[in-house]
Amino acid sequence: MVTVTKKPHSFNTTTVHAGKKRKDQFGSHLVPIYQTSTFVFDDVQQGRDAFSGEADGHIYSRLGNPTVEQLERALCELETYGLKDQDEYSGMVFGSGMAAISTGIISTALGGHVIAQDALYGCTSQFLKEEAPLMGISTSLIDLSDSFLLEIELKKNPNTKLVYLESIANPTMTVCDIKVISEIVHQNGALLMVDNTFASPYHLRPLSLGADIVAHSTTKYLGGHGSVIGGALVLKKELIEEVSLAKFRKNLGGISAPQDAFLLHQGLKTLSLRMKKHSENALKVAQYLESHDGVKTVWYPGLESHPQYELANSIFENGFSGVISFELVGGYTSGERLMNNVKLCTLAVSLGTVDTLIQHPASMTHSVMDEELREKAGISEGLVRLAVGIEDAEDIIADLVQALDSLKD
C-alpha cells in the first residue's frame, strides 16, 4: 500500500517540478520559449493598465517574459526550500552572473559602503575595487572568515549598507559563518548578500542562515552544461520594492534572453543528480591529491585539513560541491606543466559543467584582480583550480596521475 504523506516534496522532487505554473494554450508540457521582444495589447486601456501596474500582463521582454518568469519561480523555490515565508520571496533572472551581482550591489548600496570578502571571483572583486567607487559606493575587502574583523570594519564604516561574500570563495574555498555574519550585519542595519554559485542550493541555502539576498552565476551548476551565460538574485519582494531592483534591472537592461532562460531551466531539473556526483567525485579526487607527495596543499571544504571543515560540515548538506584548489610542490612551473599535460580534463575557465575543467586562477579568472589583494587573499601564483565533473572519479584521478607522473621527467 502506498502511504500518502503531507510533507513537502523532497529537494530533488522540487528541482524536477520547480517553476511550473500554467499550461499554455496548446497544452505544451514544457513552457515554450517566448521568443518575442514585445507583447500585444487588446486595446489602449489594457496597455495603459499594464504600464501603470493596475493589471498583470506582459509588455516588453526587457521588463519581463513568461519563459524568464518560469525560471525565476523555479530558482526562488529552490533557494527558499524549507522556509516558512517562502511566498514572500521572488527570483530575478539576469543575462549573466555579473549582471545580477552588479545590479544587486548598485541597487542596495548606492551612496553607502560595501564590506566584501577579500577572496572573491575576479570580476566581482574588480567591480568592487574599480567601478563601484565611480558610482559613489565605497568598498573595503577583508577576511570575512574572521567575524571580529567584520565588527571592526563596520565600526570604521557606519555607512555600510551591504556585506558581500561567496558561500565557498572562488578560488580559495574559504567558508564563512553566514549565520554569525548575518546577525552582526543586521545589528548594524545593513544587508547580507551571498553569492551561492559554488555551493548551489543543493548543498547550502544562505537565506535559511540569515542572508538577505542570494546571487548566482547560473552559468555554472544551475545550468549545468556550460551552454549558457546567466545570473540570478533571490530576495524578499519587499526588499525588491525597497531598493527599486526591478527598476534598476529594467533601466540597466540586464534581464536574461528567453532562449537562455529555457536552457537554464532544463538544466536545473537535474541539479540534485549532478551535484551528488560532482561532490562525491570531488571528495575522492581531493583525498587522492592530498595523499600525493607531489602536491603541497589541497583546499576542499570536505577535507578535515580545510581550515573551516567543522563549520562547512555543520552548514552544508549532502557534500561540499565540486571545486578543488591545490598547489604543487614545484609551484607555478609544475602547475603549468600539469595543466598542459592533462588529457581527459579540459584546460578552460568556468565550473559546473558535466566535464572536468582545470585552470590557473592567477593568470586566468583572477588576473583582473588587484595583485596585492590577490596575494593577501591567498590566491598564489602556484594555485591550480579543478572543477570536477560527473565522469567517473577513477578516470579523473587516472588523468591526474599520468599528468603528475609526467612532472618527474
Ligand X SMILES: Cc1ncc(COP(=O)(O)O)c(C=O)c1O
Least distance in angstroms from the C-beta of 169 to ligand X: 8
- Alpha carbons 167 and 204: distance in angstroms, whole number: 8
Q: Coil, helix or strand for 160?
A: strand
Q: How many residues does the chain have?
A: 409
Least distance in angstroms from the C-beta of 167 to ligand X: 9
Q: Which is nearer to ligand X, 98 or 114 (CB)?
A: 98
Helices (H), 57-173: 66-79, 97-109, 122-126, 132-134, 147-156
Q: Closest Cα partner for 194 from 287, 278, 246, 121?
A: 121
Q: Which residue has the closest beta carbon to ligand X?
A: 97
Q: Closest Cα partner for 10 from 272, 224, 216?
A: 272
- The x, y and z cell numbers of residue 408, run together, are 618527474
Least distance in angstroms from the C-beta of 184 to ligand X: 23
Distances (CA, A) of 317 to 17, 72, 135, 312: 21, 23, 38, 9
Q: Which is nearer to ligand X, 154 or 229 (CB)?
A: 229
Q: Closest Cα partner for 353 from 215, 228, 201?
A: 228
Q: Residue with C-alpha cell 549573466?
A: 96
- The x, y and z cell numbers of residue 211, run together, are 542572508
220 is catalytic: yes
Strands (E), 317-368: 323-328, 346-347, 357-359
Amino acid type, 210: G
Determine which helix (DSSP H) or strand (DSSP E) holds 268, and give its type and residue range.
helix 258-268
Least distance in angstroms from the C-beta of 174 to ligand X: 12
Least distance in angstroms from the C-beta of 117 to ligand X: 11
Least distance in angstroms from the C-beta of 241 to ligand X: 25
Q: Which of 20, 49, 60, 62 is catalytic?
A: 62
Least distance in angstroms from the C-beta of 350 to ligand X: 6
- Any idea of the CA torsion for 355, 301, 229, 141, to the nearest 10 degrees? -150
For residue 92, how far is the Cα from the chain centroid? Answer: 14
Residues in touch with ligand X (CB under 6 A)? 96-98, 101, 121, 123-124, 166, 170, 195, 197-198, 217, 219, 229, 231
Q: Which of 118, 177, 195, 370 is catalytic?
A: 195
| Sheet containing 160-166: order of strands | 89-94, 231-236, 213-217, 191-195, 160-166, 113-117, 138-142
Q: What are phi and psi of 374, to 5 degrees?
A: -60, -45
195 is catalytic: yes
Backbone region of residue 177 per phi and psi (left: phi > 0; alpha: psi in -120 to 50; beta: other values): beta
Q: Which is nearer to ligand X, 96 or 103 (CB)?
A: 96
Q: Which is nearer to ligand X, 15 or 197 (CB)?
A: 197
Q: Which of 161, 205, 220, 374 is catalytic?
A: 220
Q: Which is nearer to ligand X, 124 or 334 (CB)?
A: 124
62 is catalytic: yes
Q: Residue with C-alpha cell 500518502?
A: 4
Q: Apex CA 221: angle with CA 219 and CA 226, to 5°?
A: 50
Q: Which is nearer to ligand X, 128 or 397 (CB)?
A: 128
Q: Which is nearer to ligand X, 117 or 182 (CB)?
A: 117
Q: Which of 81, 121, 202, 288 is catalytic?
A: 121
Q: Which is nearer to ligand X, 113 or 220 (CB)?
A: 220
In contact, 217 and 97? CB cutoff 8 Å: yes
In contact, 165 and 194? CB cutoff 8 Å: yes
Residues with a catalytic annotation lie at 62, 121, 195, 220
